[in-house]
Amino acid sequence: MAAAASQDGHDTGGPDQYRRLHAASLADPEAFWLEAARAVDWSTPPVAALDASAAPLYRWFPDASLNTSYNALDRHVEAGHGDRVALVHDSAMLGTTRSYTYAGLRDEVAVFAGVLAGLGVGKGDRVLVYLPMIPEAVVAMLAAARLGAVHSVVFGGFAPAELAARIRDARPAAVVTASGGLEPGRRVEYLPAVQEALALADSTGTPVVAKAREGFVHRIGDYRQSGSCWVDWDDAVSAAEPVDPVGVAATDPLYILYTSGTTGAPKGVVRDNGGHAVALTWSMREIFGIGPGDAMLTASDVGWVVGHSYIVYGPLLAGATTILYEGKPVGTPDAGAFGRLIEQHGVRVLFTAPTALRAIRRADPDGALLRSHDLSALETLFSAGERLDTGTSAWVADVLGTPVVDNWWQTETGWPICANPRGFGGVPLKPGSPSLPSPGFDVVILDQHGTPVPAGTEGGIALRLPLPPGTLPTLWGSDARYGDSYLAAFEGYYTSGDSGYMDEDGYVFVMGRTDDVINVAGHRLSTGAIEQVLAQHPAVAECAVLGLRDPLKGQRASGYVVLKAGVSVDPTDLEAELVAMVRGTIGPVADFRSAVVVDALPKTRSGKILRKTMRQMAAGEPYAVPSTIEDPAVLAVLEPLLRPVPAE
């Protein structure tokens, strides 16, 4: 089953090797994942891989124990690699760069673990982390893991009410924060948000450790009030002693990461220690082709799952160098920002979201700013987070001169469900597809009755149980909600909530959320398929397609497009061209007749288009402005364009 290895330690073999590995992972998952587990250092090595005694709730490596922080740091130091660079913090906002060796980062983590221990944090306790893209975020996560505690990172853009909901659910023993975060043209104050959230959650006595940053109005001393414990990070570190890693069961939780729930209450996705370490270590080598000493830039945020997996844990488990970037793809200072990072830090793999790529293309249509840098170190660009349209993919590949590899996964899965295994040579790329199911994932396309559909037929994307290591074993505090949310629709399957199809070669094409499917005069159409057509127009930088209420046909598709920088077109002519493109590609059945030019689409700070909010506006339903929205003013501009058509 083991893959052949090249001289640099990466597997080779291409499509044939992929087919063998994927087949082996499904035929004998026990043997496959026990073999993969050998790349992890265990306190008690696993004898068994899968515990199915409580199916459909599964556990991986039930008889094993380890410490994730030790695997990410200490073991590399003990192997003689303490001087290797582990982390580079590059702040475009401040114009500063700081590097941490594995030994140096290990020491800082050990001491901050001492700070948390001094506040009473122990094995199994929760630590809520509300930090911007600064090194202290990585240190806090790894320090919690070192103690066997459970961290819950909350994106710094969340408002107090959202933060309070997570505090209520996780009941942290400590909160770690900073003076604030930096955005182009403004500073976001964190301390008053934390204070308000603690009050809303009736948790004002919870200890708070805050890292002071210059230039912010609110100071830590202002919050040292009676009945609360606010501690300055630097003062606490200067007085603390380092602590050693604490062994935990492989099935013990490492972190909780909250994702939106349909009922309004956030769902706490649980990630365990053992399966997580095995899956990420495997994926770094086999999917991303990253090994010891390689530099990887994941342009995301530590508050999202991509940041957890491929800014923090994955690269460090692999002994690589991870770039922690505090900046934007454009505007800090320009659309050549990623090029500077590649050149300056010798980045071998870049991982970012399609929205970032479209923003770069919109601002710099010729790619001149990226090309002005030496991009020779870059071997592969990976993209995930939403659909990567083929036009943007081809443009980026041409500008960078590297393969652009889409991959598809979710907060719940923690690592790619579908990907192109570049570590052992990869498989041929197909435009519009994140390629093939990763080993361990048994992907099936189901119709509305739960019956598998033929190749080329769109349906709901499901994963046959059991899910592989590294995926969620449950939701925090509620096995029942986990079952109801993901397992109840079709027995034996995890339902992803995404729709798509699989072609004759087994390649998966993800078209969007299942609620992005609209019904036009009885015909079910994917808005994602229409978006793919619109994105091919040379004037279009990005787009969204919604199903608006139609008194005759039930719903009608309407497009909203943002133009590339410097492009000037007549909106009426553009609409006619886009309508013709959809008619020619999808057919008259789409009944596509409307394409509106807008200045911007509403997005989260992580770059995802807020399609659900747009759908609610279009349906005339009440909606809340998401706390993670990048620019609330965009919704006000869009609202008149999205008003529902009155019924006749």
**How many CA atoms within 13 Å lie on the side-chain side of 436?**
24
Mean pLDDT of 394-403: 96
Pairing, β 96-101 against β 126-130: unpaired
Write the DSSP string, 580-610. HHHHHHT-GGG---EEEE-S---BBTTS-B-
Q: What is the pTM (predicted TM-score) of this model?
A: 0.84
Q: Which has more pLDDT, 648 or 470?
A: 470
What are the residues whose beta carbons fall under 8 Å from the beta carbon of 46, sequence distance 6 or more? 34, 37, 61, 63, 64, 250, 274
Q: Looking at 108-117, 280-289, 367-376, 389-398, which range is the least confident one? A: 389-398
C-alpha to C-alpha distances, 588 to 188, 407, 582, nearest whole angstrom: 48, 31, 8
Mean pLDDT of 197-222: 94
3-state SS assignment for residue 406: strand
Q: What is the pLDDT of residue 297?
A: 98
Question: Where do the DSSP E strands lie in 78-207?
Answer: 85-91, 96-101, 126-130, 150-153, 174-178, 180-183, 186-189
Q: Which two tokens stand for residue 208?
A: 């708070």
Q: Which two tokens stand for residue 373?
A: 């840098």
Look at residue 9 and tell me whether its pLDDT is greater than 50. Answer: no
pLDDT grade, residue 516 (50/70/90)?
low
Mean pLDDT of 392-411: 95
**Measured between alpha carbons, how far apart are the two ends of the chain, in Å?**
64
Mean pLDDT of 455-484: 96
Cα dihedral across residues 82, 83, 86, 91: positive or negative: positive
Express each pLDDT in 50-95 by its tens digit: 999 999 999 999 999 999 999 999 999 999 999 999 999 999 999 9
Pairing, β 523-526 against β 517-520: antiparallel
Q: Which two tokens stand for residue 274?
A: 């053992």
Residues facing 557 on adjacent strands:
547
Look at residue 644 and tell me whether its pLDDT is greater than 70. Answer: no
Q: What is the pLDDT of residue 5?
A: 38
Q: Which has more pLDDT, 551 or 443?
A: 443
**How many CA atoms within 13 Å lie on the side-chain side of 479?**
7
Q: What is the pLDDT of residue 36?
A: 98
Q: Looking at 70-79, 147-156, 160-169, 171-180, which range is the least confident one? A: 160-169
Mean pLDDT, all residues of the chain: 90
Q: Which two tokens stand for residue 579?
A: 């309508």
Q: What is the pLDDT of residue 632?
A: 82
Q: Which two tokens stand for residue 224?
A: 């040292």
Q: What is the pLDDT of residue 621?
A: 77
Mean pLDDT of 527-547: 87
How much of the chain exceeds pLDDT 90, in percent? Answer: 71
Most confident segment among 7-11, 283-287, 431-435, 533-537: 283-287
Q: What is the pLDDT of residue 1?
A: 31
Look at residue 524 and tell me whether its pLDDT is greater than 60. Answer: no
Look at residue 326 and tell me whether its pLDDT is greater than 60. Answer: yes
Mean pLDDT of 186-204: 93
Look at residue 646 and tell me whether its pLDDT is greater than 60. Answer: no
pLDDT grade, residue 262 (50/70/90)?
very low
Mean pLDDT of 200-224: 93
Mean pLDDT of 551-556: 69
**Domains in the chain, start-ordered, CATH in brackets?**
4-59+278-296+304-511 (3.40.50.12780), 69-249 (3.40.50.980), 521-642 (3.30.300.30)
3-state SS assignment for residue 486: helix
Q: What is the pLDDT of residue 376?
A: 97
Express each pLDDT in 229-242 by its tens digit: 999 999 999 999 99
